[in-house]
Amino acid sequence: MHDAASQSTKTKRSCLARESSSTSKPNRSAELSEASRYAHEAVQRASMVEAQVTSDIKAAGARTGANSNVTFVRDGKIVSTLDARLKTMKSLEEKIQRDMQAGLTAKDAADSIKDVLRYTYILEPSCYGRGVAATVQELLALGYRPVRIKNFWKTERGYTGINTVWKTSGGQDFEVQFHTPTTLKTKEANRPLYDRQRRIEPGSTEAVAIDRQIDLVWEGARANPPSMAGLPEVDRMFARAGALRLQEWNRD
């Protein structure tokens, strides 16, 4: 009698486990499918304006000495900063999935991604600040609207550079980063750490250890900052356009 009751209990648990498994799999599959759909739509929208924005980015840089097409080695291959101007589907899907797991809808997660289309300018340290200011002025003259600016040179540790978000007349967001040869090299050196960090639990012992490693790699770049002359005018240009600055962006 005891054996029969025990077997009955095991059978029920087994059935419940199968039921739970069969219920969770479609949900996970649906989540992946939704993330894929929104990622595909985001890439499609960005692709429609990419040629014009890329042309303008090159032209603006040519007039100010900001190089938008620098080559470097990544994973043993020679690539350029322009090669990565469109975020990959895989990267987008993973970002949307992470945000969905944090509670966002797939649409809200996709809408929050501002760097589906992104560019990097490289400036020499001696004329960095003025080069950023001149390039920002050129993008304004081309009709692009500044949305956000993060000057990481004002922070105390970790990643450094200036990250901006712009909007086309049709409403497509794109990111523009301003680096020196040293900060671009440092960013690439940290890339494996960033990739690992995105795949582990935030705040975990491993995550904290990786944060420290990243900070250490960035210390060299921070020890020799470029010329900042001209950057106050960049802040004023963004402020006049109603763009968010670093502190406001962090609260968003």
Q: Tell me the pLDDT tens digit for each residue of 32-66.
A: 689 999 999 999 999 999 999 999 999 999 999 99
What is the chain's mean pLDDT, rounded? 86
Contact indicator for 100, 31 with CB cutoff of 8 Å: yes
Sign of CA dihedral 207, 185, 47, 169: positive
Q: Which two tokens stand for residue 86?
A: 């469109």
Q: What angle do CA 97, 98, 101 make, to 5 degrees?
A: 85
Backbone angles phi and psi of 97, in degrees to 5:
-65, -40
**CA dist., res. 113 & res. 173, Å (int):** 9
Q: What confidence score (pLDDT) does residue 31 get?
A: 61
Per-residue three-class SS string for 111-149: HCCCCCEEEEEECCHHHHHHHHHHHHHHHHHCCCEEEEE
The pLDDT of residue 17 is above 80:
no
The pLDDT of residue 196 is above 50:
yes
Among all chains, which residue has been given the structure tokens 């900060």?
A: 183
The pLDDT of residue 25 is above 80:
no
Domains and CATH numbers, the chain: 2-251 (3.30.460.10)
**CA dist., res. 61 & res. 59, Å (int):** 5
Q: What confidence score (pLDDT) does residue 30 get?
A: 62
**CA dist., res. 146 & res. 53, Å (int):** 14
Neighbouring CB atoms inside 10 A of 67's CB total 18
**CA dist., res. 43 & res. 56, Å (int):** 19
The pLDDT of residue 67 is above 60:
yes
With cut-offs at 50, 70 and 90, classify the pLDDT of residue 109. Answer: very high
DSSP, res 177: E
